[in-house]
Structure 1
Amino acid sequence: MALLLCFLLLLGLCGNTISEEPPSTTKSPNVLEFELPAMNYETKDSYEAGPTGVLFQMVNVFLHVVQPNPFPEDTVRKILQKNFDLSPEYEKIISYEIGIIICAVLGLLFIILMPLVGFCFGLCRCCNKCGGEMHQRQKKNGTFLRKYFAVSLLVICVFISIGIIFGFVANHHLRTQIEKSRQLADSNFKDLRTLLNGTPAQIDYILGQYTTTKERAFADLDNIKSLLGGGIHEQLKPKVIPVLDDIKAMAEAIKETKEALMTVNSTLGQLKKSTTQLNTSLSDVKRNLEQSLNDPMCSVPPVATTCNNVRMSLSQLDDNTNLGQLPSLDKEIDNVNDVLRTNLSSLVQQGYKSFNDIPEMVQNQTTDMISGIKSSLNSIGSNISNISQQIPIQDKLSYFMKYVNITETHIYRNLPTLEEYDSYRWLGGLVVCCLLTLIVIFFYLGLLCGTFGYDQNATPTRRGCVSNTGGVFLMVGVGISFLFCWILMIIVVVTFVVGGNVEKLVCEPYQNRKLFQILDTPYLLDENWEYYLSGIVFNKPDINLTFEQVYSDCKENKGIYTTLKLENSYNISEHLNIQDYTGNINNDFESTNINIDNIVLLEEAGRNNLLNFSSSGIDKIDYDGYLTEFGKTPTKVNLLVFADDLEEKANNLPQGNLKESLKSNAETIRTIHRGQVVPLEQSMNMAYQSIKELQHKSSELEVKVNKILSSLDSAEGFLTNYTSSVIVEESKKYANTIIGYFERYLQWVKISITEHIAACKPVATALDSAVDVFLCSYIIDPVNLFWFGIGEATIFLLPAIIFAVKLAKYYRRMDSEDVYDDVETVPVKNF
């Protein structure tokens, strides 16, 4: 019944769910990402039997040995086609079932013979035959036989105990699993309802994501100034901005050149004045020294020699520069001032502004285009909503919900009955196991009492009570075995035939999907339909839609659209043709004409200004002459050295006016050095650096200006010739970005509908739960383990009876025994 109900669920879904698959999660950097609401299911994908799984596998191996034949596909097909005739097919059935039949026949023989044997054995014992006579003949190997029988019975009892344990485990496992059936049904129906209720939410999510996509596109359209205009600006920037930067730098250089010229010119005037003052001071010192050397003492040796030396060195006290010959830079300054009358920096800023206004120009020229694209995007949303209404997903799911409700009602109505019957079954199984347990307990007690109560020195008629009790226990076990073993074997045969056939004819072919392959046989379930499933779903039985393919796709959690090939009913690709939706947007972009040809980087006045600066003459200045003069020392001799030498010579003179006069002049020379030479040297160094800097700025001035103008011409030519292509290229990128949102969205919608919406894994899980879990794992596996364990224990009762009867003779107290003497043996009866 569970198998039938689960198939009804699957067929109901197939016939009544023309649905599309939920949107898939798509993730990519800097791109819109969509992710469906997750559906969480409770039912596990697979069932684990736990430790008892090893026992189930052992039974399956036994069944495979008993029934190794392949699945009878042809016979099953004929049964489903109602073309099965037993008379010509019985040989195939017998051939397939031969292993089970043999085992069942052996079981029937056991069932028939064991009561007869027990009855005959009991009558025989009552007639003091078959070991019924309470007399034990003495044998030489009696001790060995007793031990052999005891060990053999003990081993057999161990095997019987193992079978009983298997029976208890199977009986308990079956009850435990039946108790879990309600939980299994609850989780499966909850998962089915999650699927049915979650699918509309997924569809709503898909439609809702269009709003997100549209808002993102609208934001980019409103931001066209920075996206498209900024893109065009960035493409042109590497060619334009460096030129404007060079012109700006040249404008700054012109100002700096004027400042340098004025600095050098001012410094030159100051140097000329300082040099004149220095010459005057040096001339005064020379004159004072000459007057001092006219002293009479200079005519007296050796003072005369010193005076002559001083007189000869006076020529060194002179100016070392010709700064007066250096021309002023007034003309060049005037020329630069003329250049500065034109504000080149302002013209450059106008060029910057003209170029930086490109984004604003783009925004102003695309207002109508943006309005048209927004209108197209709004219409796309309406079309997608219409498509969602054309696909009757929710109507079909509501129809399928009826099947779920009917099945759920039926299952929950019958579950209490199943649980009640299982309680009876469990009690019966418990009785069977306890009965076998009782038998094996009597055997164990017999072995225990007999073994430990046995006295080797006691004669058969004098055996102890404990030993005798052991023998009684063994015979009680034998009696109970004869009474009930045939009933146990009936249970074993019935459960074996049923469980074994269900395992081989249902469970195994379901797991290897041969059942689905049989159902997929053309014209099997309906002689007019090649493919039964497609006939139910589309009323087109020629579409290759199979049960096996549907089950496999559902196991992989594919959507119903792909699983049931619903494109044969509603082709989503035709209704969601991306080009049909994005074509209008492309046309709007292509029809837009963006014109930015009126960019002026530098006006003609700016060009003339640069040319005038290049011809201002600052590059024609005799920088070498200036550098040469500024690089000289102010005096021909180091005045400090000269003063020290003069003072040293004065110290060598005798006391008098001459000596004092020379020393006074030496101090005057030092004062001139500190007060005039040192400042003059500093000024000349500053002037040297200034003229050096000016030389650097003016070097190849004409070449620099020409290079700037050439770059300017190149940039303006680039703007004239290539701006349109840059606009086209950036417009395509911008259009592709906007269109890409919707292409991605529409592609996501298509993939979601075809692969994810109404992913039917809960259906496959429900079918697995009904057949593989409930029928096979919950019921058949424990049933097979039960008959395997009970059957093994029952079979071993046969040798156990034999050994117990044999062994009881050695434990029970006999009524008579053999008596031995040297001549003859005479049986004696003791009463």
Structure 2
Amino acid sequence: MALLLGFLLLLELCWDTSALGPLSSTKGSDGLEFELPATNYETKDSNQAGPISVLFQIVQVFLQVVQPHPFPEDILRKILQKKFDFSTDYDKIIYYEIGIIICAVLGLLFVILMPLVGFCFGLCRCCNKCGGEMHQRQKKNGAFLRKYFTVSLLVICIFISVGIIYGFVANHHLRTRIEKTRKLAESNLKDLRTLLIGTPAQINYVLSQYASTKEKAFSDLDNIKSLLGGGIHDELRPKVIPVLDDIKAMAEAIKETREALLNVNNTLKELKMSTAQLNTSLSDVKRNLEQSLNDPMCSVPPVATTCNNIRMSLGQLDDNTNLGQLPSLDKQIDNINNVLQTDLSSLVQKGYKSFNDIPEMVQNQTTDIVSDVKRTLNSLGSDIENMSEQIPIQDKLSDFIGYINDTETYIHRNLPTLEEYDSYRWLGGLIVCCLLTLIVVFYYLGLMCGTFGYDRHATPTRRGCVSNTGGIFLMVGVGISFLFCWILMTIVVLTFVIGGNMEKLVCEPYQNRKLFQILDTPYLLNENWKYYLSGMVLNKPDINLTFEQVYSDCKENKGIYSTLKLENTYNISEHLNIQEHARNLSNDFKNMNVNIDNIVLLDAAGRKNLMDFSSSGVDTIDYNVYLAEMGKTPTKVNLLSFADDLDTKANNLPQGSLKQSLKNNAQNLKTIHHGQVMPLEQSMSTINQSIKELQHKSSGLRVKVANILSSLDSAQDFLQTRISSVIVKESSKYGNMIIGYFEHYLQWVKISITEQIAACKPVATALDSAVDVFLCSYIIDPMNLFWFGIGKATIFLLPAIIFAVKLAKYYRRMDSEDVYDEPSLPGKQMRQLEAYKFTRTCGIALDLHTQNKVRIWLFTEFHYLPPS
């Protein structure tokens, strides 16, 4: 009852301390992470019995066989409602308890009959009956019976020993668990204190985290330039920046085109001069050769042929190009120079600057809105900071801590008494186990002495001392068994009835939670309340709040708020009024007026500059003419080959001025080739590449400029017509981000209060510790194992007595024995003898004439006499 009262008081306290309730919120935003500090408890969730749990399960299986009926829920409900009439409903109790009743009746019969049987057995033996006569009848199967009785008694003793071991183990286990009770109680009380003391601290911690949320929001508000302005800037970037980049690239292309035109034009002028010089040089060589060929030797027939050949090849020493006919590029250069008078690059930079100033414009235009939002957040912060002071939890905490202190005082005051009583119980259990141990020890000693001391050649009257001692041990065991077995069975019956019913009526239904289901029966504990727990905690008995649900939620370590459904009595959202603040914040951001429609990407001068460039005539130049001339060789013939051929022909001439003149002209041609032709070829190749690049840059110039102007118009139109929707979109996104911080915070508050703050696992653990651990695991399980082991040993005492009495005849030394022959007898009063073969050295003679007694004679020789 005290445990139930403490449990209910704890529920009431948690109701008061957790009345904050959950906050309504949406999915939280990124950037804020909250985590409630974890609370560590000492008490373990489950109790492990160790290897002995297998023995407990064996006992539970036995009880299931004895008591297979389901838990009597209807009977218990009637008892709690005080509607159970024993005079009419006793048959239901008998039906449920029939297995335990039968076992208890059998045990009581054992208790009553065993002392009576032992008393009669003792009187009978004192009268030399019931095996009390120290005479052993000899049988043909005597050896087999002795072995059978020995093995049977040994097996029975083993079973008895197992039961005694169960008793010792259970007795010791119960004592060690009682010693752990103090630690278990202190651990649970400490966990409850941790729960009670930590709950206000957790609430204060949750409320204090608003400062972190507000700090993050203020940081983002102060950084509105990059967050909101940067967002608008990034949204417009894909439409604006490519156009500006194209114009910038075109401005660079104008400069590069001018440089290329100048380079081509200047190089072309140099090529014309070089070509003229080359013509002059070739003309000089040609004239010298003609003069040399006028030498008289050329008229001589062998030389004439050579001279004629040389004279015919002189026409190849001419210029191969017409560079002088190529038009000049001065006009195009002048047009480009006129275009460059307007600095298009600076105009583009103005467009970049105008576009990049959007974040700064946003910051300047939202100063008042940021101030209003900060005031709203400060107002909300004040409400949250005052929240902990408005919740009356300190008084309730103090009251319940007083209950815990009283409970601890009660435990400390009464636990020594429990430990003292347990010491008496432990001593009694030890005595019971030792008494059974003494009995089975006598049986073991009897078996050992009788087995090892038995001599099959010895007669019953001449058995050895060891064998006789074994028989005495067996009879001592029998005597002690008769003296104490009924006391042992009395203890077994009492503990069986108590322990068995506690297991079936308390422990088992607590573990499968049927006890909670009974307590949750509507109108059971209070006829005016449908649900007792909700009526007591919430004062609203119609709310479906059950003991089973509360226990399950506490077992899962859920918060008291959701466990006790406290949202039916206290809603923190209404007290914080966060919805009104959220609407105000949302309206502030929606009404944000940012004007950035005066952005000019490129002015009229820049546009005219682009148009002038497209009409500069660069794209109308006939580049193919230039490329064709530059692709020619400077001379019609390779001067080196011509010079080598001339030199070869000169070598075939006889010595003289002609030969020497030809060699000199050949050398001049080589000099012209290296000094003029090769540089001219290199210059022509370079200008050829320059012309190709210029051709590539100017290709489609008008189309490129037209496309750039079209993109520019599109971007400018987008800035003028669509920028307002972009501002609204980004403002809403920015506002949702700021509000999202608080929604995320409130969502965390809701989760913390409903699932983490005042998590009631210590309550379920304390209840488990009281019922499942202390009552069932510490007391009932070892108690049941004790009566199971002792009862098993006591039951097996009955067959042990029978076999021990039977076996003792084969071990003890007899006073008389059977005789089978008639030796030389003193001739007195024997009319007729019948002899039976018995041993080699002894016999028995029966005086048949005498009817009332048997006379026994011992002989030293054996003679067989047939019956007369």
When normalised by structure 2's length, the TM-score is 0.92
Matched to 1:40, the amino acid is N
Q: Is the Cα contact below 8 Å between 2:21 and 2:561 reproduced in 1?
A: no
Q: Distance in 2 between matches of 1:348 and 1:181?
A: 86
Helix, strand or coil: the match of 1:128? Answer: coil
- 1:685 is displaced (CA, Å) by 2.0
Checking the alignment, whether the CA contact within 8 Å between 1:22 and 1:759 is kept in structure 2 is no
Aligned equivalent of 2:840:
none
Aligned partners of 2:697 and 2:149: how far apart in 1?
126
Aligned residue number for residue 405 of structure 2 = 405
1:468 counterpart = 2:468:
yes
Match of 2:619 in 1: 619
Match of 1:10 in 2: 7
> Is structure 2 residue 249 aligned with structure 1 residue 249?
yes
Partner of 1:187: 187
* More displaced stretch, 441-450 vs 698-707: 698-707
**AA in 1 matched with 2:692:** K
- Give 3-state SS (helix, strand or coil) of 1:602's partner: coil
Write the distance in 2 (CA, Å) between the matches of 1:251 and 1:530.
87
Q: Give the superposition deviation at 1:160.
A: 1.2
Q: Does the residue aligned with 1:188 lie in a helix, a strand or coil?
A: helix
Matched, 1:150 2:140: no
- Worse-matched range after superposition: 403-412 or 57-66: 403-412
User: Which amino acid counterpart does residue 370 of structure 1 have in structure 2?
Assistant: V
CA distance in structure 2 between the aligned counterparts of 1:529 and 1:105, rounded to whole angstroms? 43
Following superposition of structure 1 onto structure 2, how do residues 80-479 of structure 1 map, counting pairs within 5 Å? 80-479=80-479
Secondary structure of residue in 2 paired with 1:255: helix
Deviation at 1:576, TM superposition (A): 5.7
After TM superposition, give the deviation of residue 793 of structure 1 in Å. Answer: 1.1
Deviation for aligned residue 1:90: 2.1
**1:466 is matched by which residue type in structure 2?**
V
Q: Provide the rounded CA distance (Å) in 1 between the counterparts of 2:147 and 2:300.
A: 164
Partner secondary structure for residue 98 of structure 1: helix
Deviation at 1:389, TM superposition (A): 4.2
Equivalent residues of 1:519, 1:547 under 8 A apart: yes
One-letter amino acid of the structure 2 residue matched with residue 6 of structure 1: L
Q: Is the 8 A contact 2:21 2:573 kept in 1?
A: no
Q: CA–CA distance in 2 between the matches of 1:610 and 1:677?
A: 42
Q: Give me the whole-angstrom Cα distance separating, in 1, the residues matched to 2:796 and 2:310.
A: 151
SS in 2 for 1:42: coil
Alignment correspondent of 1:679: 679
Deviates more, 1:127-136 or 1:712-721: 127-136
Q: Return the letter of the residue paired with 1:647.
A: D
After superposition, the Cα gap between the structure-2 partners of 1:38 and 1:828, relative to the gap in structure 1 and judged at 3 Å, is farther
Structure 2 residue aligned with 1:765: 765
Q: Secondary structure at the match of 1:819?
A: coil
Q: Which residue of 2 aligns with 1:751?
A: 751
User: Could you tell me which residue of structure 2 aligns to residue 699 of structure 1?
Assistant: 699
* Distance in 1 between residues matched to 2:356 and 2:205, nearest whole Å: 43
Give, as a single letter, the amino acid of the residue that structure 2 aligns with 1:629: E
SS of residue in 1 equivalent to 2:818: strand
Q: Is the 8 A contact 1:391 1:570 kept in 2?
A: no
Q: 1:8 is matched by which residue type in structure 2?
A: L
Residue in 2 aligned with 1:79? 79
The answer on whether the counterparts of 1:471 and 1:811 sit within 8 Å (CA) in structure 2 is yes
Give yes or no for the alignment of 1:817 onto 2:817.
yes
Between the aligned partners of 2:817 and 2:10, the Cα distance in structure 1 is 83
Letter matched to residue 749 of structure 1: V
What whole-Å deviation, never above 9, does each CA across 1:308-356 have from its counterpart, x for those lacking one?
2222222222222222222322222222111111111111111111111
Paired residues of 1:23 and 1:35 also in contact (CA < 8 A): no
Letter in 1 for 2:92: K
CA deviations over 1:504-523 (Å, ceiling 9, x no partner): 11111111212112212222
- In the other structure, the counterpart of 1:740 is 740
Letter in 2 for 1:471: G
What is the Cα deviation at residue 590 of structure 1? 0.8
The separation in 1 between residues aligned to 2:36 and 2:757, in whole angstroms, is 9
> Would you say the 8 A contact 2:468–2:813 is kept in 1?
yes
* C-alpha contact 1:184 1:769 (8 A) present in aligned 2: yes
The CA deviation string for residues 522-553 of structure 1, in whole angstroms up to 9 with x for no partner, is 22222222222122112222222211111111
Aligned to 2:537: 537
| Cα displacement (A) at 1:575 | 4.3
Give unpaired runs (5+ residues) of structure 2. Answer: 823-833, 836-844, 847-853, 859-868
Give the Cα–Cα distance (whole angstroms) in 2 for the partners of residues 113 and 282 of structure 1: 156
> Contact 1:22/1:756 (CA < 8 Å) preserved in 2?
no
Question: For residues 375 and 593 of structure 1, what CA distance do their matches in structure 2 show?
Answer: 19
How has the CA–CA distance of structure 1 residues 463 and 470 changed in structure 2, closer, same or farther, with 3 Å as cutoff?
same
1:5 alignment partner AA? A
AA paired with 1:17?
C
Residue in structure 1 matched with residue 645 of structure 2 by the alignment: 645
- Kept in 2, the 8 Å contact 1:239–1:715? The answer is yes
Q: Which amino acid aligns with 1:413?
A: R
Residues 156-202 of structure 1 show CA distances to partners (whole Å, capped at 9, x for unaligned) of 21111111111111111110111111121122112212211222222
Rounded to whole Å, the distance in 2 between the matches of 1:183 and 1:481 is 41
Deviations 1:669-700 (A, max 9, x none): 22222222222222222222222222222222
| Equivalent residue letter for 1:714 | S
Q: Is the 8 A contact 1:292 1:658 kept in 2?
A: yes
SS at match of 1:706: helix
Aligned residues: percent identity?
79
| Residues 178 and 419 in structure 1, CA contact (< 8 A), matched pair in contact too | yes
Contact 1:22 1:752 in 2 (8 A): no
Q: Distance in 2 between matches of 1:411 and 1:22?
A: 35
Letter matched to residue 795 of structure 2: I
User: TM-score normalised to the size of structure 1?
Assistant: 0.96
Deviation for aligned residue 1:281: 1.7
Partner of 1:66: 66
Residue 556 (structure 1) aligns with: 556
User: SS at 2:783's partner residue?
Assistant: helix
How big is the shift at 1:394?
4.8
1:752 alignment partner AA: S
Distance in structure 1 (CA, Å) of the matches to 2:513 and 2:89? 24
Within 2, Cα distance between the matches of 1:464 and 1:249? 129
Check the 8 A contact 1:9/1:763 in 2, yes or no. Answer: no
| CA apart distance, 1:30 | 4.2
Amino acid at match of 2:252: E
Deviation at 1:393, TM superposition (A): 4.5
Matched pairs, number: 827
User: 8 Å contact 2:191–2:762 — kept in the other structure?
Assistant: yes
- State the distance in 2 between where 1:88 and 1:573 align: 57
CA contact (8 A) 1:326 1:626 kept: yes
Deviations 1:93-114 (A, max 9, x none): 2222222122222222222222
Counterpart residue number, 1:690: 690
In angstroms, what is the RMSD of aligned CA positions? Answer: 2.2
Q: What's the secondary structure of 2:722's corresponding residue?
A: helix
Deviations 1:706-727 (A, max 9, x none): 2211111111112112211111
Equivalent pair of 1:297/1:303 in contact (CA under 8 Å): yes
> Are the aligned partners of 1:819 and 1:828 in contact in 2 as well (CA < 8 Å)?
no
Distance 1:541 1:688 in 2: 101
Q: Which amino acid aligns with 1:474?
A: L
Separation in 2 of the partners of 1:67 and 1:61?
A: 10
